[in-house]
Structure 1
Amino acid sequence: MNEPASISDSALVLRPAGERFHSERGWLNSWHSFSFAGHHHPDWMGFGPLQVINDDVIAAGQGFGMHPHRDMEIITVMVEGQLNHRDSIGHSGVIHAGDVQRMSAGTGIVHSEVNEGDVPCRLLQIWIEPDELGLSPSYEQRQIAIGTDWTPLIAPDQPEVMAIARPVMIWRAQPPVGAELALPAFGDESAWIQMIDGNAELTGEAANAPIQLGRGDGLGLLKGTTNCSLRSSSGSSSGSTNDRCDALLFLLS
């Protein structure tokens, strides 16, 4: 696996945006952090239970027709625009920017995702392995106001937060330039940072020097990594379109 020179003791795993797998269909521009569809590499078969992070841009009037899933927790984070969802268990509606959708495929679900808007949309679709196979399919969607600190999108045992069929936590934060966010303490869990937009740097005991991150970059923190922070910066990484850092943080077990 490619590792930057600033990594110490192999505690971190860097996935630069430009090294992700890329699929383009004309109407779809998709970047895959891990092996997906026709793209396969033994070093990038996921990160623990985190199997897929696809950064998709879908053209107006285009999308994915009805297709099946089974035994996977699927989370969609809408970044820009809107996406129409329909599925085989009776749900239909529009996912708007700022919405988060979670779908437990379980014993089987068929759904479509189509951009019926007038402009392209951007989303991150995330697949996580469930703790248990053969669950009943389920679906949930919420609008979540993202703050400057870690805002929970997915968490177990929190009444106001959606949960999936695995004790995983996902946060999103949009800190202003110069703000520093401590990463939560974790022991037996690993963590993954996925940059949606903007720029940031990881600092702390695991890095010999700050690790610069920009739009599309991913960074895995292995079990036992402690005392790390993410600081929003004004650096100009390739592809970033936002002065404000926009990042996802996964805590995986």
Structure 2
Amino acid sequence: MIDVRRSADRFRGGDPASGIESLHAFSFGRHYDPDNLRFGAILACNEERLEPGAGFDEHPHSHTEIVTWVVEGELTHRDSAGHATVVGPGDVQRLSSAGGVRHVERNDGDAPLVFVQMWLEPLSPGGDPSYEIVRGIADSTPYALPEAGAMLHVRRLTPGERTAVPDAAAVYVHVVRGEVRLGDAELGPGDSVRIVDAEGLELAAGVGLAEVLMWEQSNPPGV
């Protein structure tokens, strides 16, 4: 099963008056769609745009694996466990909220900030919060998230380049930038694909550079 979701169909949230624009791929906040609550372990895939000086004040999370990918700009992160970092393009940031943690996310820079944040449900709730940042993750180097039974693949494709979609029970594809083709589907920035029982599939970049995030999941949706 291949289910293409377009960027234009995302739910718009955030607070534009405060310099925050959010685009949600799944039910989020006041927007509730009982048929679009999750895909496997993935609970949220939010595109966030913060103007300089804008941000999310301290707020709590629990029992969620939060993975952030910066598209442009710099994200300032601080949490109640004592971590304080600046996350840039090419860095993978993971916050395991576990039994509970509070954090702040801001654009303290002079340029607009764009990032993609993905929330995954852990296999086992509770425990102690943890934090990790991988600086400048290399292309095709997977980032394992065993806490959620998932693995993140980052692909940066040159024009016309092809890459395999992982063979897995479930794969979630998010196009960060550029254009790619999956079978007969043309995908652009912000488009996503939910694939069940992925096998023998390929992504092909268009005429420009492309950047794609792919979540490989060991369990099928609903398991």
Give the SS at the match of 1:173. Answer: strand
TM-score, L = length of structure 2: 0.93
The answer to whether the 8 Å contact 1:15/1:217 transfers is yes
TM-score, L = length of structure 1: 0.82
User: CA separation of 1:164/1:80 partners in 2, compared to 1, >3 Å: closer, same or farther?
Assistant: farther
The answer to whether the 8 Å contact 1:73/1:164 transfers is no
Partner in structure 1 of residue 189 of structure 2? 215
The answer to whether the 8 Å contact 2:153/2:214 transfers is yes
User: CA separation of 1:113/1:122 partners in 2, compared to 1, >3 Å: closer, same or farther?
Assistant: same
Q: CA deviation at 1:146?
A: 4.0
Partner in structure 1 of residue 2 of structure 2? 12
Q: Which runs of 5+ in 1 are unaligned?
A: 1-10, 156-162, 204-209, 235-242
Q: Distance in 2 between matches of 1:100 and 1:171?
A: 11
The percentage of aligned residue pairs carrying the same residue is 33
Q: Distance in 2 between matches of 1:132 and 1:70?
A: 12
Partner in structure 2 of residue 23 of structure 1? 13
2:39 to 37, 41, 47: 47
Give the SS at the match of 1:215. Answer: coil
**Paired AA for residue 135 in structure 1:** G
**Paired AA for residue 71 in structure 1:** H
Matches within 5 A, 1:84-123: 84-123=76-115
Partner in structure 2 of residue 63 of structure 1? 55
Q: Distance in 2 between matches of 1:22 and 1:164?
A: 31
The answer to whether the 8 Å contact 2:92/2:137 transfers is no
Partner in structure 2 of residue 135 of structure 1? 127
Partner in structure 2 of residue 197 of structure 1? 177
Q: Which runs of 5+ in 2 are unaligned?
A: none
Q: CA deviation at 1:227?
A: 1.1
Q: Distance in 1 between matches of 2:45 and 2:63?
A: 17
Q: Distance in 1 between matches of 2:14 and 2:187?
A: 24
The answer to whether the 8 Å contact 2:93/2:134 transfers is yes
- Determine whether 1:246 maps to 2:211: yes
Deviation digits for residues 140-176 of structure 1, max 9, x if unmatched?
11112443xx332x21xxxxxxx35122111111111
The answer to whether the 8 Å contact 2:89/2:136 transfers is no
2:29 to 37, 41, 60: 37
Q: CA deviation at 1:125?
A: 0.6
Richer in strand (by share): 2
Structure 1 residue ranges, 4+ long, deviating more than 3 angstroms after superposition: none
Q: Distance in 1 between matches of 2:166 and 2:76?
A: 34
- Determine whether 1:168 maps to 2:150: yes
**Paired AA for residue 214 in structure 1:** G
The answer to whether the 8 Å contact 1:20/1:32 transfers is yes
Q: Distance in 1 between matches of 2:62 and 2:141?
A: 29
